Chain A
């Protein structure tokens, strides 16, 4: 079950990238709206940026459970 779900996930992942080249942004305003499949880049880089940012933030603000007691 888990394996099947993973396979479907990867299949969609692979298919969604070329699909982006077939469809245009309906109301392109900024230059990145015109780049095909730009949301793939936003999705991955954004997630990595947030995970990295959260780890960095954790170093600064993560304290022991009874910090305020």
Chain B
């Protein structure tokens, strides 16, 4: 609420005051969340239902903490932006995401869910390019479809159960609709296409916000409603491999990162789907860690885009010399996402993989190990081709101080959790935690995995080199389907409309003529034939043919009309009396 109400004041403030205000609100929100105690508050009665705006437990608290922390860091990163609209959209987006996290009923959850979708699309549109506008509309259409599915599911659920409380769900039709709605935000395959489509087209700072909130609220609601569902677990496994495979083909740096969101969210979904205490803890720990390193990666690539205008890996290279802080932050983030020991990704990824093994899900475990190898490869590729590959043509300056500060603070948090995971373990939902990330076997296994993957990169570096082009995804079918719908509307449906309009116009014209003189109904054909014949004869005789049909020439005296009316009235009265 602080963020949502706080957004109103942003346009009224200027300069330094506005900058301080932008940073104070997340600090206040963090202090507020620290004060929250388990239980429900802000309960309102509406149409006989209880709307719960603040339901607090350990699960909502941990997600709330990280949402506010990264809100602060992302606002610090975007402090130099002067467009108030971007800040307002970001505030509404953060506020509504927190609204989803603390919502205790499906009605308020749905309301915040939709505010999230609408506010975030402005972070794409503010890029003010045609491709951003198009991608924003596609993003919005997908989210509206997802929202409709969610609403349909909620309505069926409420009708069937009579309750609107957010609780664990199963596999009834209502639950499946809700799962599709949640799954769209969580980037389930094949309804993930909005993510790699819109995120790379967002503003430099907007994409940082977007990389955090939409998918993670999705994981959060899955943890609350669908934990322990094997379908969800295997969907997570598919997402991890699918995201990595498509990321390896990308040339646009931020699109590569977007596919890695799909992959990393896959780990979280898998953990939640496994459903054990270790699985859910691992999934939520990965939400926490992923938010940090993914926001950092988007900050780094945003920083490169902001300072050089380059978004494609084929145009980058050699930037480490000119942007050392960004390069160092990118290496930290890359090691974190890859899951290198000493960085935060290592801790949570290990928890999720261990939970799959613990539940005897071998295929899931192998899929996640494969994706870990791919993630390492992908980020060696990104760091190498962006910052270390030889490129004599490029010149750049380091990004503004606020951007550097935000990157350094986020990088520090990635390392802090990596070397001291207890700080994260203490806030996880299920206590106590019986997981030790730094065992010799686990560390050595990860090192072996990465060293050999590194060797493979050195052997096949040229095969991984980025290429210009478009990589088709499932969006090909959606776009072609969309074009098909437009074609049906423009060609056959439009033709049908034209024909219907013409024929109905003619019918109306005939009815109008008859209505002007209904007595002549029977005489009209004769009169018309007479008129045509005389017109033809006049034409032959050399008279003007411009004289048109004039009904006044054929109109009967008014008395006839009165007589017909009396006859009809008499007939009606007769029918009435007889019946």
**Cβ of B382 to closest chain A Cβ, rounded Å:** 14
Q: How far is the CA of A43 from the CA of B371 in the complex (A)?
A: 10
Interface residue tally of chain B, by bracket? Answer: 35 or more
Enumerate chain B residues within 8 angstroms of A47, measured Cβ to Cβ. 373-374, 377, 452-453, 455-457, 460
A64 (CB) vs chain B CBs: closest residue: B469
Enumerate chain A residues within 8 angstroms of B246, measured Cβ to Cβ. 57
Q: A26-B439, A39-B446, A42-B369 are in contact. Are A50 and B374 (CB under 8 A)?
A: yes
Interface residue? B80 (CB, 8 A): no
Let me know if B456 and A51 touch, CB within 8 A.
Answer: yes
Q: How far is the CA of A27 from the CA of B471 in the complex (A)?
A: 41
Enumerate chain B residues within 8 angstroms of A68, measured Cβ to Cβ. 470, 479
Quick one: which of A9, A29, A51, A60 contacts B454, CB cutoff 8 A?
A: A9
Interface residue? B362 (CB, 8 A): yes
Central interface residue in A9, A27, A51, by most chain B CB within 10 Å: A51
Q: How far is the CA of A64 from the CA of B354 in the complex (A)?
A: 42
Chain A, 32-64, CB within 8 A of any chain B CB = 33, 37, 39-40, 42-44, 46-51, 53-55, 57-58, 60-64
Chain B residues touching A, majority SS: helix
Q: How far is the CA of A29 from the CA of B479 in the complex (A)?
A: 45
Let me know if B454 and A40 touch, CB within 8 A.
Answer: no
Q: How far is the CA of A60 from the CA of B469 in the complex (A)?
A: 13
**Cβ of A58 to closest chain B Cβ, rounded Å:** 6
**Cβ of A57 to closest chain B Cβ, rounded Å:** 6
Interface residue? B426 (CB, 8 A): no
**Cβ of B429 to closest chain A Cβ, rounded Å:** 22
Let me know if B357 and A29 touch, CB within 8 A.
Answer: yes
Enumerate chain B residues within 8 angstroms of A24, measured Cβ to Cβ. 441
Enumerate chain A residues within 8 angstroms of B439, measured Cβ to Cβ. 26
Interface residue? B114 (CB, 8 A): no
Q: A62-B467, A65-B469 are in contact. Are A46 and B441 (CB under 8 A)?
A: no
Chain B, 449-465, CB within 8 A of any chain A CB = 449-457, 460, 463-464
Enumerate chain B residues within 8 angstroms of A46, measured Cβ to Cβ. 369-370, 373-374, 449, 453
Interface residue? B330 (CB, 8 A): no
Let me know if A20 and B249 touch, CB within 8 A.
Answer: no
**Cβ of B259 to closest chain A Cβ, rounded Å:** 11
Enumerate chain B residues within 8 angstroms of A29, measured Cβ to Cβ. 357-358, 360
Chain B, 491-532, CB within 8 A of any chain A CB = none
Q: How far is the CA of A39 from the CA of B557 in the complex (A)?
A: 106
Enumerate chain B residues within 8 angstroms of A67, measured Cβ to Cβ. 469-470, 472
Quick one: which of B362, B444, B469 contacts A62, CB cutoff 8 A?
A: B469
Q: How far is the CA of A13 from the CA of B456 in the complex (A)?
A: 12
Enumerate chain B residues within 8 angstroms of A17, measured Cβ to Cβ. 448
Interface residue? B82 (CB, 8 A): no
Closest 7 pairs between A and B when the two form their complex, measured CB to CB: A43-B452, A47-B456, A46-B373, A39-B448, A44-B452, A54-B248, A43-B449
**Known contacts A48-B460, A67-B470, then 8 further A-B pairs from the complex at CB < 8 Å, ordered by chain A residue:** A20-B448, A39-B452, A42-B369, A42-B373, A42-B449, A42-B452, A44-B452, A51-B463
A–B pairs, 8, beta carbons within 8 Å: A13-B452, A23-B440, A43-B450, A43-B453, A46-B374, A50-B377, A67-B472, A68-B470
